[in-house]
């Protein structure tokens, strides 16, 4: 049996008891994921609560050592993990794809293990000293999405374990195998019961949100579901970190060199075939450089290969689910009905397999069109012409979401604009680049709470003041 087959065998169940998980590009069944129930969740949470104190008592150094071993295990099986991700989620092996995601899992674990938080002296005078410490919360529930299932799972899991919590993971029902594989590899080095997957349906997710014995919920997904979690968690006051996606704007300033920025702009839009919360979703380009920017994006869209995730030549893949394919198709059709121009793409690519939609550039479109106002989450970008920078800034800030944004052009001028954008992160001459040491989180309807680095560790711990 191949290494990929061995890893799949370790995480899947039989056809009679599991749920078939399809290859995103072909529909072929990859394996059968377990189907856990609310009763399974309750049992798992109880076990996690029992095991968490011993895990916390091991201290930061020992927990960090074991996390490094878990990262080494992922590195040793990175190719097998990448193939599972490529087939289940659809992202290609190469580029910023499945191999990138698998490697990122190990890198983010190591960063969480190595980031230190020292007690902070708040006040000191003769005879008195007050210190701020961070202690474990207890049980953290990690509810992940389907677009970067393994990596975003690690963003939730690694800091939570590092700070001494036990973790119960609820993967997306569309991509459970990637998460099951990551947890399987990590659990080869972790104590039993401190990291567990509950692969259930929406009923299980709802129970997590209201569970009286879960101390913290980390959720990445839609704003609508985030609001449901807030409502459900209110009675037991579980702490929340919510990353709820975004409709990220980009503003290209007059004088920007289209050829210089084109490739970074393209991948800021189309990373993971546009299925990234912090991807660029709507692009405002000054009239003086509009045609050049559109031409450069068109050339890249038509020359960047799209295909099955395991095809070494592919750099773009399918939409992960039929539902997402339908959303993208609807938004493009609506844009055409409104009189927008399809510069390239604009249609399905059935010859490539299931759920493929050609890389699409849309012009002659304005705010108010669904493709601009809604998060399309696919390989489509509306390019909006502007002449007045003040107007572009107003448009960029008009969305209810505020996860990421970017400004392109002269760095000094771009910084002035960036300071006026309502967003958790604003990039200059790049978009969507993340650093495990730099905090990341949204504002407005994109959620609240920070991940990564010291800020991320503090978000999965309880502040405790000790005064002597």
Question: CB-hemisphere CA count at 13 Å for 286?
Answer: 16
List the structure tokens of 415.
């910084």
Name the burial class of residue 363, with classes exposed (0-12), middle (13-18) and buried (19+) by CB atoms within 10 angstroms of its CB.
buried
Report yes or no: 254 and 432 within 8 Å, Cβ to Cβ: no
- Listed residue (273, 275, 265) closest to 360, CA to CA: 273
Backbone angles phi, psi at 302, to 5 degrees: -80, -15
Distance, in Å, from the CA atom of 55 to the CA atom of 13, rounded to the nearest integer, reads 29
Kindly tell me the sign of the dihedral angle through the C-alpha atoms of 256, 375, 242, 106. Answer: negative
Q: Is 164 helix (H, G, I), strand (E, B) or coil?
A: coil
Task: Give catalytic residues, as residue numbers.
Answer: 243, 277
| Other beta carbons less than 10 A from residue 214's beta carbon | 24
Coil, strand or helix at 340: coil
**In a 10 Å sphere around its CB, with 0-12 CB exposed, 13-18 middle and 19+ buried, how is residue 271 labelled?**
buried
Which residues is 333 bridged to in the sheet? Answer: none
Beta carbons of 371 and 332 less than 8 angstroms apart: yes
Strand 461-467 versus strand 128-136 pairing type: antiparallel
Residues 6+ apart with CB under 8 A from 169: 141, 142, 144, 153, 156, 157, 179, 183, 195, 196, 197, 198
Pseudo-torsion of CA 175, 176, 179, 180, nearest 10°?
A: -150
Classify residue 436 by its DSSP letter.
T
Please tell me the distance from the alpha carbon of residue 291 to that of residue 312, in angstroms, as a whole number. 33
Q: Which residue has the tokens 């997306």?
A: 172
- Reported in sequence order, the residue ranges of 215-292 that DSSP labels E, i.e. its strands, are 216-220, 239-243, 248-252, 280-286
Characterize 399-427 residue by residue with b for buried, 16 or more Cβ atoms within 10 angstroms of its Cβ, and e for exposed.
bebbbbbbbbbbeebbeebbeebbbbbbb
């Amino acid at each position: 049996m191949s290494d990929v087959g061995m890893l799949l065998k370790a995480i899947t169940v039989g056809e009679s008891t599991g749920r078939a998980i399809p290859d995103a590009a072909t529909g072929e069944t990859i394996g059968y994921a377990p189907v856990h129930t609310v009763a399974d969740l309750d049992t798992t949470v109880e076990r996690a609560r029992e095991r968490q104190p011993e895990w916390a008592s091991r201290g930061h150094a020992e927990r960090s050592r074991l996390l490094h071993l878990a990262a080494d295990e992922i590195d040793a099986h990175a190719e097998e993990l990448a193939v599972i991700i490529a087939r289940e989620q659809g992202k290609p092996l190469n580029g910023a794809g499945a191999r990138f995601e698998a490697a990122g899992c190990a890198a983010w674990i190591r960063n969480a293990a190595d980031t230190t938080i020292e007690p902070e002296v708040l006040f000191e005078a003769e005879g008195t000293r007050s210190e701020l410490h961070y202690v474990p919360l207890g049980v953290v529930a990690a509810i992940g999405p389907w677009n970067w299932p393994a990596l975003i799972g690690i963003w939730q899991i690694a800091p939570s374990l590092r700070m001494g919590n036990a973790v119960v993971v609820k993967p997306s029902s569309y991509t459970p195998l990637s998460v099951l594989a990551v947890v399987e590899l990590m659990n080869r080095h972790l104590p039993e019961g401190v990291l567990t997957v509950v692969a259930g349906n929406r009923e299980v997710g709802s129970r997590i949100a209201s569970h009286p014995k879960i101390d913290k919920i980390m959720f990445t997904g839609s704003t609508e579901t985030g609001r449901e979690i807030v409502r459900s968690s209110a009675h037991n006051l579980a702490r929340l970190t919510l990353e709820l996606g975004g409709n990220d704007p980009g503003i290209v300033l007059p004088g920007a060199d289209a050829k210089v920025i084109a490739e970074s702009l393209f991948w800021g839009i189309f990373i993971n075939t546009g299925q990234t919360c912090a991807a660029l979703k709507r692009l405002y380009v000054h009239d003086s450089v509009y045609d050049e920017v559109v031409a450069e994006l068109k050339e890249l869209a038509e020359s960047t290969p799209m295909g099955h995730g395991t095809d070494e030549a592919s750099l773009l893949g399918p939409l992960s689910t039929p539902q997402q394919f339908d959303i993208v198709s609807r938004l493009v059709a609506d844009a055409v009905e409104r009189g927008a121009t399809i510069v390239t793409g604009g249609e399905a690519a059935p010859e490539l397999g299931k759920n493929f939609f050609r890389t699409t550039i849309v012009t002659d479109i304005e705010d108010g069109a669904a493709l601009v106002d809604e998060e399309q989450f696919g390989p489509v970008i509306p390019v909006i012409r502007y002449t007045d920078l003040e107007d572009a800034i107003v448009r960029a800030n008009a969305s209810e979401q505020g996860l990421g944004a970017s400004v392109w052009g002269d760095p000094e001028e771009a910084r002035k604009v960036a300071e006026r954008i309502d967003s958790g992160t604003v990039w200059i001459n790049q978009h969507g680049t993340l650093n495990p040491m730099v905090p990341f989180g949204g504002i407005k309807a994109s959620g609240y709470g920070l991940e990564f680095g010291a800020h991320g560790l503090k978000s999965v711990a309880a502040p405790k003041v000790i005064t002597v």
